[in-house]
Every structure is written in C-alpha cells, then in structure tokens.
C-alpha cells in the first residue's frame, strides 16, 4: 500500500523457486506489492533458474500441515492460495488442514503442474487427488491452457474451447474458474472466467516478451490478495491482471531463458 497500511492476510501454500521468479517468492512479492500480508507453508524446494528445474526436494507432508496449522492458529488468514503441491500426500495433508481449520476461508487454487522452463511440478499420479481434494474445495481455480486441458481432457485451441473448459471446471465444483489464455497464439490474449453469474471474458493485447516466468503464480496471488482485502471477484481479477501486465512490460531482463517479471511495479492502491 502506498500509505503503508496492510489489509488482508494471505496464507500461501506452494513450492520455493530458487530463481525468485515464481513459486513462494513470486507469491510473497505480489501479495506485498498489492498491500496484503503474506505468510507461507512451503511444499517443496526447487533448484531452478530461468532455463531449467534442476532438482526438486519435497517437504514432508506432515511438516507442510504443521506450517499451515501454526500460522492459522496465530496469524490467521483471509484467503489461502495454493500453488505447487507435487504429490498426493502433500495434497491430502493440505486438504485435511483446510477441512479442519479453514473451511470458511476463501481458497484460490493455482494448479501448478509444469514450470515455464518445462519441469514437471505435479506428479502424474497425484492428479486425481488434486481434483478430488482441492478443486472441489476451491473458491477460484486459475489454470492456464495446458493445466485446463489436463484437468478437463479437452483440447483447447480457441476462446470457444476455453469457455467450454471453464464451464467444465465450474461443473466439477469450483464456484469460479478462470482459464488464462497466454498459451494461445495471436495478438490478443483472453482470460475466461466462469461463475454462477455466467461467463466474463477479459481481453488485452499481448505483451511480447520472453520474461514471463511466474506469470501464473503472480496472477493467482494478486487475485488472492484482492479477495483477502474484500474485493469482489471481478475487481480482484482486474487489478491482478493490471499488476501482471505492468510487471511483464517492465521485466528486468534477468537470465538466459524465461526471465522473471518485475514484481516491484505499483498499481492503484486498494481503497477500503
């Protein structure tokens, strides 16, 4: 916040990115930039940079749950945002804590499956547990095109099939599904939101850059910050998209591969 006031608490449950562009690091930077307070439960450590995910070191599921429980017991949360889950035991542990301690807290699920550099971040055998235990509990799910294809079984090649995928995810049980369209070709990028109220399509001209590492984490965390601050879903998505676009336009250019965005940019502050 430009006036230094912190509004909204976001508990981020995700993996660490040693390169700082995605994961817990991007989540915390985004939540802080948008004036909310971020706490964390780390699900995995990764050795990665802009070119590759070199190694993944999972955090024991019981310790992921312990991180969540002690944070919720003391600091509390207005929104929980999940990212990299990696394995079925972690998914089960996270879902159990949500059921026991956070059933009434808004949950934003970013189905992180593959890194921008191509490394697999969710084990294939964990997909069913992910859908059954987290998608069904989510207030909002934010898949990109490949993630939406994996979750629905559809081939998504245009806005029409994005709408179909969002509708399918909504039918699965998520009250809101935002399918992001950055992976489709074309000068215009569309993100499709499906809620009980219908379909909302967000359109913007593509920003041409290879420095887009962590864009999905950034968008989902930006939305989570807005929801934690009491914003309506559409308002939270619009602000998070504006923040991400500014971060893409001003990316610092670090790294030889898909570099990080600029999480230090500012957008209009939230007004209570």
CATH number for the domain spanning 184: value is 3.40.1190.20
Whether 272 is covered by a domain: the verdict is no
Report d(CA 100, CA 147) in Å as an integer.
28
Whether 138 is covered by a domain: the verdict is yes
Residue 14 CA to chain centroid, in angstroms? 9
Whether 202 is covered by a domain: the verdict is yes
Question: And the tokens for 72?
Answer: 């919720």
Residue 31 CA to chain centroid, in angstroms? 11
Whether 267 is covered by a domain: the verdict is no
Do residues 38 and 32 make contact, with C-beta atoms less than 8 angstroms apart?
A: yes
Whether 4 is covered by a domain: the verdict is no
Torsion of the alpha carbons at 156, 161, 163 and 164, rounded to the nearest 10: -100
Q: What is the pLDDT of residue 1?
A: 47
Whether 99 is covered by a domain: the verdict is yes
Whether 2 is covered by a domain: the verdict is no
Report d(CA 236, CA 200) in Å as an integer.
13
Question: And the tokens for 94?
Answer: 């996270």
Q: How many domains does the chain have?
A: 1
Q: What is the pLDDT of residue 46?
A: 93
Report d(CA 81, CA 67) in Å as an integer.
14
Closest CA to 260 of 30, 35, 38, 82: 30
Domain that holds residue 240: 9-249
Q: What is the pLDDT of residue 272?
A: 37
Whether 93 is covered by a domain: the verdict is yes
Closest CA to 30 of 223, 207, 168: 223
Instruction: State pTM to two decimals.
Output: 0.94
Closest CA to 31 of 266, 229, 221: 221
Q: What is the pLDDT of residue 271?
A: 46
Q: What is the pLDDT of residue 266?
A: 79
Residue 253: count other Cβ atoms within 10 Å of its Cβ.
Answer: 11
Report d(CA 215, CA 245) in Å as an integer.
9
The stretches in the chain having pLDDT less than 50 are 1, 270-272
Do residues 18 and 47 make contact, with C-beta atoms less than 8 angstroms apart?
A: yes
Do residues 86 and 122 make contact, with C-beta atoms less than 8 angstroms apart?
A: yes
Residue 195: count other Cβ atoms within 10 Å of its Cβ.
Answer: 17
Do residues 156 and 192 make contact, with C-beta atoms less than 8 angstroms apart?
A: no
């Amino acid at each position: 916040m430009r006036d230094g006031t912190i509004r909204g608490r976001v508990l981020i449950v995700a993996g660490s990115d040693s390169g700082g562009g995605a994961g817990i690091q991007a989540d915390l930077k985004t939540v802080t930039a948008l004036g909310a307070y971020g706490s964390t439960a780390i699900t995995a450590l990764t050795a990665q940079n802009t070119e590759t995910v070199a190694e993944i070191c999972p955090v024991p599921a019981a310790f992921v749950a312990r991180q969540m429980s002690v944070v919720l017991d003391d600091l509390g949360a207005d929104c929980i945002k999940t990212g990299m889950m990696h394995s079925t035991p972690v998914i089960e542990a996270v879902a159990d804590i949500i059921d026991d301690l956070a059933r009434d807290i808004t949950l934003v699920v970013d189905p992180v499956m593959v890194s921008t550099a191509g490394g697999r971040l969710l084990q294939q055998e964990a997909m069913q547990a992910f859908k059954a235990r987290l998608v069904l509990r989510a207030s909002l799910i934010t898949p990109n095109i490949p993630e939406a294809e994996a979750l629905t079984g559809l081939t998504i090649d245009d806005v029409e099939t994005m709408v179909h995928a969002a509708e399918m995810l909504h039918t699965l049980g998520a009250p809101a599904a935002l399918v992001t369209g950055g992976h489709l070709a074309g000068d215009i990028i569309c993100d499709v939101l499906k809620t009980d109220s219908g379909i909302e399509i967000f359109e913007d001209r593509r920003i041409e850059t290879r420095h887009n590492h962590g864009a999905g984490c950034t968008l989902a965390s930006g939305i989570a910050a807005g929801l934690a601050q009491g914003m309506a879903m559409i308002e939270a998505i619009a602000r998070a998209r504006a923040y991400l676009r500014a971060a893409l336009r001003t990316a610092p250019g670090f790294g030889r591969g898909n570099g990080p965005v600029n999480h230090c940019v500012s957008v209009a502050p939230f007004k209570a």
